[in-house]
């Protein structure tokens, strides 16, 4: 197949929110010759075509991987790990392969040091799922991490860096374990925290129905991502286990500190607890 557009024939494996949005962005910006959506549910794949997320679809992963210039794995982490060997053995020697999973070390490890694979992670998810939620602008101004390993050439890494940039993201290159440590705090912990909080609210609302009306912005913020996909977040937590456990322990310690200050009526200490947090938030960059 001829390779028109910067990325030629692009195979998107898993056409949900992220995969569908990426397909849309590549197609509308003329960055691909063909976007092939790969999945197992024909009805959803047909919907992806109708929504303009992909040009054509296939249910044959190996055959599609064999004809693609760029392969992007957009499924939950456990499936990326199980699909990678199939993709790596089918793909051409000059193909570039990446994924959009929220953890990177286990996925890079699953690639076995294959020089064609460079992990990446566009931080553009949401509590919504499915190709119905896909949108052209999902990646604009989002952070997109690219996590090369020792076997990658600069050229291969650059193809994935360009992929992120070409759809409008701000790309940051970092080692897989640095990525995983950072997102354990900035993304994985908030998801665990939100789920934990929502479970408490739901349980307590049975005893005190006033909870259901006594909510404002802080409740909305604390629970938005509680609606996220259980499959996705189970996979993420188990694939980034030690960093997520460390993040949970840090939170537990901070809560113990707040608890002790409140219990002992330590007004100065509690003021400092909130003031340090408030100062940290105001010094934090942008979003």
Q: Compute the least distance from the CB of residue 230 to a copy of itself, in Å.
A: 4
Query: Judged by CB, which is closer to a copy of itself: 116, or 191?
Result: 191
Q: Which range binds a copy of itself by CB under 8 A, 52-60, 81-89, 159-167, 178-186?
A: 178-186
Query: Among 90, 92, 84, which Cα is nearest to 119's?
Result: 84
Under the criterion CB under 8 A, does residue 75 sit at the interface with a copy of itself? no
Question: Is there a contact between 167 and 25 (Cβ–Cβ < 8 Å)?
Answer: yes
- Phi, psi for 275 (deg, rounded to 5): -65, -40
Which of positions 258-277 make contact with a copy of itself (CB under 8 A)? 258-259, 262-263, 265, 267, 270-277
Which of positions 113-142 make contact with a copy of itself (CB under 8 A)? 123-126, 142
> How far, CA to CA in Å, does 262 sit from each of 51, 143, 255, 274, 278?
53, 38, 10, 12, 18
Which of positions 183-222 make contact with a copy of itself (CB under 8 A)? 183, 185-187, 189-202, 204, 208, 210-222
Query: Among 109, 246, 231, 121, which Cα is nearest to 171's?
Result: 121
Which of positions 78-97 make contact with a copy of itself (CB under 8 A)? none
Among 143, 151, 158, 166, binds a copy of itself (CB under 8 A): 143
Query: Judged by CB, which is closer to a copy of itself: 60, or 221?
Result: 221
Q: Which range binds a copy of itself by CB under 8 A, 54-62, 88-96, 152-160, 254-262?
A: 254-262
Query: Judged by CB, which is closer to a copy of itself: 59, or 82?
Result: 82
Q: Which range binds a copy of itself by CB under 8 A, 35-43, 54-62, 64-72, 233-241?
A: 233-241
H/E stretch holding 45 reads helix 42-50
Question: Is there a contact between 237 and 192 (Cβ–Cβ < 8 Å)?
Answer: yes
In angstroms, rounded to a whole number, what is the distance separating the alpha carbons of residues 137 and 180?
A: 25
- Phi, psi for 204 (deg, rounded to 5): -70, -30
Under the criterion CB under 8 A, does residue 241 sit at the interface with a copy of itself? yes
In terms of DSSP bridges, do strands 143-147 and 119-122 run parallel, antiparallel, or are they unpaired? Answer: antiparallel
Q: How many residues bind a copy of itself (CB under 8 A)?
A: 95
């Amino acid at each position: 197949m001829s390779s028109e557009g910067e990325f030629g024939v692009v195979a998107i494996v898993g056409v949900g929110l992220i995969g569908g949005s990426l397909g849309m962005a590549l197609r509308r910006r003329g960055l691909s010759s063909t976007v092939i959506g790969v999945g197992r549910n024909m009805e959803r794949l047909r919907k992806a075509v109708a929504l303009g997320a992909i040009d054509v679809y296939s249910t044959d992963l190996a055959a599609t991987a064999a004809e693609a210039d760029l392969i992007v794995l957009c499924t939950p982490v456990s499936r990326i790990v199980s699909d990678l060997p199939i993709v790596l053995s089918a793909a051409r020697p000059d193909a570039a392969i990446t994924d959009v999973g929220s953890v990177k070390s286990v996925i890079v490890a699953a690639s076995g040091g294959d020089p064609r694979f460079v992990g990446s992670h566009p931080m553009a998810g949401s509590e919504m799922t499915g190709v119905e939620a896909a949108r052209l602008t999902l990646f604009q101004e989002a952070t997109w991490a690219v996590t090369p390993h020792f076997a990658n050439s600069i050229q291969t890494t650059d193809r994935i860096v360009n992929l992120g940039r070409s759809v409008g993201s701000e790309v940051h290159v970092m080692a897989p374990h640095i990525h995983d440590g950072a997102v354990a705090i900035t993304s994985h912990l908030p998801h665990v925290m939100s789920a934990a909080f929502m479970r408490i609210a739901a349980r307590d609302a049975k005893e005190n129905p006033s909870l259901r009306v006594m909510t404002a912005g802080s409740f909305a913020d604390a629970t938005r991502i509680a609606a996220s996909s259980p499959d996705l977040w189970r996979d993420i937590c188990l694939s980034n286990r030690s960093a997520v456990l460390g993040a949970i322990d840090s939170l537990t310690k901070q809560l113990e500190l707040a608890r002790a200050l409140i219990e002992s009526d330590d007004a100065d200490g509690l003021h400092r607890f909130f003031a340090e947090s408030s100062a940290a938030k105001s010094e934090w960059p942008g979003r």
